[in-house]
Amino acid sequence: MEGGFLANLDEWIKMQKNLLETAKEMEKKLNSEEMDRLDMILETRTAFQHMMRTIKAFDNWLQDPMVLKHMPKEMLEDVLKTVWSMFETLLELDIRHTSQFRELVAKLGKEGKLDPLIWNRPLGLEESQQSRRGPFTTM
């Protein structure tokens, strides 16, 4: 059993290192002028998918009795501080991006430049209060 557990950890580490290497290679492309808007969206979504997978695995990891019993406090402190920093950075990105997009949509709406085929919502406060919590969810 111990060998299987350690082998699984070795495989996960190897896979994550390979993914990190690939991400660093992709970063060169991300900073180039070659990317169009679709490329940017696809690369962002790919990163989100990998992040969600890793976060889910980490969450499961922190529920594993082996980890709970044996992980030293110092390792947990490192995870907590790093995750909290990532969490705050994500919230800052979401606030910044959503605020900028909100201003853009308001400007385009005032100028009559919103595509009517894809935008059929009122721009007033009533819409946001009644049916939307954020830019990507509806209630």
The structure's pTM equals 0.76
Boundaries of every domain in the chain: 1-71, 72-139
Q: Virtual CA dihedral for 20, 26, 27, 31, nearest 10 degrees? A: -170
Which contacts of 63-69 are long-range, i.e. CB under 8 A and separated by 24 or more positions? 66/5
What Cα–Cα distance (Å) separates residue 109 from each residue in 94, 102, 113?
22, 10, 6
**pLDDT in 10s for each residue of the chain, 139 residues:** 567 989 999 999 999 999 999 999 888 888 778 889 999 999 999 999 999 999 999 999 999 999 999 999 999 999 999 999 999 999 999 999 999 999 999 999 999 999 988 887 776 644 444 444 555 554 3
Number of neighbours of residue 55 by Cβ within 10 angstroms: 12
Are 55 and 86 in contact, with CB atoms under 8 Å apart?
Answer: no
